Structure 1
Amino acid sequence: MNITEQCKQAVLDGKQLQQDEALSLYQAPLEELCAAADEIRQHFCGETFDICTIVNGKSGRCSEDCKFCAQSMHYQTKIEEYALMDTDEIVRQAKSNAEQGVLRYSIVTSGRRLSDAEVDRVCESIRAIKENVDIEVCVSFGLLDEAQFRKIRAAGASRAHCNLESSRRFFPSVCTTHTFDEKIAALQAARQAGLSVCSGGIMGLGETVEDRIDLALTLRALSIKSIPVNFLSPISGTPYAQNPLLTEEEKRRIIAVYRFLLPNTSIRLAGGRGLMPDQGEGCFRAGSNAAISGDMLTTAGISMQTDLNMLHRLGFEAGLWNE
């Protein structure tokens, strides 16, 4: 029995793989690896595909120096800048998304964290969504504390997002204005406030394979069940503007190995999918069972109808997963 079959059977039997086993899987034949990952996905998750959309609720002038981000005030990029979007527009977009079949809508804001006054304003928007639209609300508001998350939960949000971005070892190479532990603290505060949590990272920042595996193991240790996997879209003006794009084979291998390490999670294709020639289909056949549809924060994405057509063709059924 080869390493792929050995690891697949171990995962199906309930064993958690460790770093050395995951590193071995990185050397396995790609098609064999992807097929096994898809079997694991079917066993633990069935055919439910968790699809969500995001809205850029506050854009630009971010104090943080994340090297991949067009919204950082540290870099010269060409993006639209605006303060918190008003409630009417946030609700309008939520309605539009729900009418297209979206089940979860995430409000994302730039900056280290929202102020208390901004949290109060966005809570009004969340309440308005819940009063007028049949859709789940997720928030990505930065490094909030438990009291702020409790307000957001009371307003009607059900999930909070905060990406770890990369491994603990590599994170200081990505951002110096906040720490890996501050991100973990925000996730824990959201969970203590009664919200489910969503966290993942970005591939293609210059990290090693070991860093990618370490990130997955950290997410597993934190019991994160919704895991966005972004592939870097190099943006002019940022320090990572010249980073080479990952190959399609590398992307599929990352997704497949993540499925081995995180068998019962939503592995969500996120940023960078719009640059993929097959719009992510190869990754959806390699263990991914979730995606962000529509445009990303500052880059173009894939339309909801295009995604729904693809999912239907692949045998998936759109639905909420890991609530």
Structure 2
Amino acid sequence: MINIIKEKIIKENYRITKEEALALFNYPLEELAKAANEIRLACAPKTTSVCSIISARQGKCGENCKYCAQSVHWKTSCTSHPMIKPEDAIPQCKKAIENRVSRLSLVTSGVGLKGREFDQALECYKKIIRETDGKLLLCASHGIISYEQMVQLKEAGVVRYHHNVETSKNYFSKICTTHTYQDRIETIKNAKKAGLEICSGGIIGMGETIEDRIDLAMTIRNLEVQSVPVNILNPIPGTPLENIEKISKEEALKTIAVFRFIMPSQFIRCAAGRKSLGENGRDAFLSGANALISGDFLTVEGSTNKEDLEMLEELGLEIEKF
């Protein structure tokens, strides 16, 4: 079955069904990963994409996402800081360029960035472009914002908007109740309408079922996004999910492989939790992944650019240039 579906995807641009995706999880990882990697080689971009993020505003978030250390609803060790100033962001951007990062995103806490802080973000993007001679592709991650704000981001030089779906429609209310699944979908549609590319994925290991993960991937496929970050939950003390059992390496890699079957041509981007797979997440790239976020994440430690670049080169992956 694996090889039949693989060949149909490669040769006929076949869109796998939910039932077929669920069945794939029953096969050995070795077979599944091999086929997923062959699909990547045949259908996905030949280059790999390296991006980094800057925590542009942190903490004091009024949303109650159960996985997040930044929520005011939970007692965690997360510190807070106000909206970043351009003079603080630009050195980080220049360092990213030195480390061969091609994409960089400012990420802010809260349900959505508005008013004066949104204006500050726009000015920050404009200054980054000027000060770096346009050597970075800029992404933005500012929560649930309007179509008009998306247009302003594009005019400021942003090319891609990041907004995760996070999980399936059916499971979402078990993770967050202060905004809806549909709020997230509409935000992505607003970004697309404004002409922005989309980066949207989710978190696995939050207690969801395999079917939930398949539903998440199917939703993302239907939204026709360019980049799909896959986060593996790192349970954070003080959050409601602090004691949840971590998923196994095999389950995580199977999930990435099946995501490649569902989304043959997208950048499937290893994000938070990659290091839990061992060897810097190398096996994820042999299971269908073809991009990564390099450096630290919002509230958890990531990997260094140096070790990421060395791994990608050892795997024979060419890093996209801009």
TM-score range, shorter chain: over 0.9
Distance 1:292 1:80 in 2: 22
Distance 1:29 1:238 in 2: 34
Distance 1:169 1:37 in 2: 27
The CA deviation at 1:100 is 1.0
Equivalent position of 2:7 in the other structure: 9
Equivalent position of 2:108 in the other structure: 109
Distance 2:53 2:189 in 1: 22
Distance 1:121 1:176 in 2: 29
Backbone CA RMSD of aligned residues: 1.1
Equivalent position of 1:87 in the other structure: 86
Over residues 195-235 of structure 1, what are the superposed CA-to-partner deviations in whole Å (9 max), with x where a residue is unaligned? Answer: 11110000000000000000010011111121000000000
Over residues 162-196 of structure 1, what are the superposed CA-to-partner deviations in whole Å (9 max), with x where a residue is unaligned? Answer: 10100000000010000010001111111111211
Aligned residues, how many?
319
State the identity as a percent. Answer: 40
Report if aligned partners of 1:119, 1:152 keep a CA contact under 8 Å in 2.
no
Over residues 236-283 of structure 1, what are the superposed CA-to-partner deviations in whole Å (9 max), with x where a residue is unaligned? Answer: 000000111111111110010000000000000101113332211111
Equivalent position of 1:35 in the other structure: 34
Task: Supply the AA of the counterpart residue of 1:140.
Answer: S
Distance 2:17 2:232 in 1: 24
In structure 1, list runs of 5 or more residues that go unmatched: none
Equivalent position of 2:243 in the other structure: 242
Distance 1:176 1:46 in 2: 37
Distance 1:19 1:10 in 2: 15
Report if aligned partners of 2:249, 2:276 keep a CA contact under 8 Å in 1.
no
Equivalent position of 1:76 in the other structure: 75
Report if aligned partners of 1:295, 1:302 keep a CA contact under 8 Å in 2.
yes
In structure 2, relative to structure 1, the CA distance for the partners of 1:136 and 1:79 (3 Å cut) is same
Distance 2:145 2:81 in 1: 21
SS at match of 2:225: coil
Report if aligned partners of 2:40, 2:264 keep a CA contact under 8 Å in 1.
yes
Could you list the structure 1 runs, at least 4 aligned residues long, displaced by more than 2 angstroms after superposition.
Answer: none
Report if aligned partners of 1:51, 1:320 keep a CA contact under 8 Å in 2.
no
Equivalent position of 1:62 in the other structure: 61
In structure 2, relative to structure 1, the CA distance for the partners of 1:320 and 1:166 (3 Å cut) is farther
Report if aligned partners of 2:203, 2:231 keep a CA contact under 8 Å in 1.
yes
Aligned ranges for residues 304-323 of structure 1 at < 5 Å? Answer: 304-319=305-320
The CA deviation at 1:304 is 0.7
Equivalent position of 2:159 in the other structure: 158
Distance 1:122 1:47 in 2: 33
SS at match of 2:130: helix
Equivalent position of 2:149 in the other structure: 148
The CA deviation at 1:320 is 6.3
Distance 2:321 2:97 in 1: 13
The CA deviation at 1:293 is 0.5
Distance 2:171 2:294 in 1: 28
Aligned ranges for residues 1-323 of structure 1 at < 5 Å? Answer: 3-12=1-10, 13-133=12-132, 134-319=135-320
